[in-house]
Amino acid sequence: MKVFSENLVEEARTQCRVSDLSNATIGEILLVAQYLERKTGIPFIRMDQGSPGLPPNHYGVEAEKEALDAGVGSQYPPADGVPPLKKAASEFVKAFIDIDVNPLGCIPTTGSVAGSFGSFIACTQRIPGKNKVLFIDPGFPIQKSQLRVLGIEWKEFDIYPFRGEKLEAKLREELSGGDIGAIVYSNPNNPAWICLEESELAVIGKLATEFDVIVMEDLAYFCMDYRRPLGHPYEAPFVPSVARYTDNYILMLSSSKIFSYAGQRMALICIGDKLFNRHYPALAERYKDAGVFGQTLTASILYMITSGCTASTQYAYAKMLEMSCKGEINFVEDTRVYEERAYKMKKIFKENGFNIVYPRDVTMEVGDGFFFTIGYPGMSGGTLLRELLYYGVSCISLSTTGSERDGVRGCTSRMKEELYPVLEERMKAFREDHPVPEGC
């Protein structure tokens, strides 16, 4: 039996001015779920927005208070970041990825969203003709929305049929036109939680160098591949990264998930040393500056967007990074609850006829973590999204992420212990109302 009637969901859609539930954005689904909760008092199983579900890191909070008490709020922060954060970022990359990045190239941004926004501009303006972005999908829908704002064209492909040895031929095909300025992906992946393996990253790095493309590697879910013992500073295994295989890289490191510091909007872009110092005549001509990639991105692009990042939050992030490098914060264990939630939620869905849409990496089953994907026999992703709303479950369609597979993305961050029986009851009702077709 449905929790919400079709008429009530349609009312919510209309009142929230959502044109098409099947292709609704994260924000639109959020509005519909909130409307239905307010209207009825019935709680939703909120799997839509990837907002942290844990308290912010205590050490960051205290460091931010201390910075404010010390008076940093009275002065504009440096455009390229406060020195303690730049130093801590460089050390953090060394400790957990085993890559050397000069502190000069570690630039704070107001969340990775601002980092990618500015980076897209620089990457597509540095060489005439290399003005498009290639998405290794599925991916974060907001980044394509950024390109719509900027008027930048893109190409995309769903990586799932091209994992492992098939990836190189596909990438060569996409890059052969010579118009790609940047490649972007997340690892672990939002939404599928698949993880690119070292052999695949080596291919991406090799071709980025060969075709002179910059790789924008989104590491928002840093060390959250819980299948491997990551997160021990200066000890293998280190976080897989394309930075081992090319000089053309920008790493995006966010405080939002690993330190649950999302509300303060603080991230870093870490630019490889050779790329940071590379001179581009096209940038010099456009911005009337030296045309040095890192300096142009920092002073002529990012500063025009945000005028720097909140000074006190920079000190908070620096403190959390420093303590992580010393082993005084174990951010992996702090976030492992997401793994437990994913395991329990996926089990309930699978027991009621659902399947995992992206079930494997190259050599092992996909792990449990912040996100997961589910499908249901005979339903497109848009249909499944809409049907799940009737049963009080909110999510987003994989079609909005560049995926070519039918299904939806679920997020574990808002799940609570008391909601597991509710989810189980609702999914049993869903299965009763939607018998699985024979042969599926």
The model's pLDDT over 129-147, given as tens digits with 9 standing for 90+, comes to 999 999 999 999 999 999 9
Check whether 6 has a pLDDT greater than 70: yes
* 307-359 confidence digits (pLDDT tens): 999 999 999 999 999 999 999 999 999 999 999 999 999 999 999 999 999 99
Q: How confident is the model at residue 439 (pLDDT cuts 50, 70, 90)?
A: low
Check whether 219 has a pLDDT greater than 90: yes
CATH code for residues 6-42+336-433: 3.90.1150.100
User: Where do the domains of the chain lie?
Assistant: 6-42+336-433, 58-325
What per-residue confidence (pLDDT) applies to 1?
Answer: 80
- Span of 3-12, 184-193, 210-219, 268-277 with lowest mean pLDDT: 3-12
Average pLDDT, the chain: 96
| DSSP collapsed to 3 states, the chain | CCCCCHHHHHHHHHHCCCCCHHHCCHHHHHHHHHHHHHHHCCCCEECCCCCCCCCCCHHHHHHHHHHHHCCHHHCCCCCCCCHHHHHHHHHHHHHHHCCCCCHHHEEEECHHHHHHHHHHHHHHHCCCCCCEEEEEECCCHHHHHHHHHHCCEEEEEECHHHCHHHHHHHHHHHHCCCCEEEEEEECCCCCCCCCCCHHHHHHHHHHHHHCCCEEEEECCCCCCCCCCCCCCCCCCCCCCCHHHCCCCEEEEEECCCCCCCHHHCCEEEEECHHHHCCECHHHHHHHCCCCEHHHHHHHHHHHHHHCCCCHHHHHHHHHHHHHHHCCCCCHHHHHCHHHHHHHHHHHHHHHCCCEECCCECCCCECCCCCEEEEECCCCCHHHHHHHHHHCCEECEEHHHHCCCCCCEEEECCCCCHHHHHHHHHHHHHHHHHCCCCCCC
Please state whether 327 falls in left (phi above 0), alpha (psi between -120 and 50) or beta: left
CATH fold of the domain at 58-325: Aspartate Aminotransferase; domain 2 (3.40.640)
What per-residue confidence (pLDDT) applies to 22?
Answer: 85
Average pLDDT over residues 58-84: 96
Q: How confident is the model at residue 440 (pLDDT cuts 50, 70, 90)?
A: low
* 278-318 confidence digits (pLDDT tens): 999 999 999 999 999 999 999 999 999 999 999 999 999 99
pTM strictly above 0.85: yes
Check whether 50 has a pLDDT greater than 90: no
Check whether 35 has a pLDDT greater than 90: yes
What per-residue confidence (pLDDT) applies to 53?
Answer: 85
What per-residue confidence (pLDDT) applies to 25?
Answer: 86
Sorted by sequence, the CB contacts under 8 Å of residue 410 that are 6+ apart come out as: 47, 345, 349, 371, 372, 373, 374, 395
Q: How confident is the model at residue 95 (pLDDT cuts 50, 70, 90)?
A: very high
What per-residue confidence (pLDDT) applies to 26?
Answer: 86
What per-residue confidence (pLDDT) applies to 21?
Answer: 86
What per-residue confidence (pLDDT) applies to 108?
Answer: 98
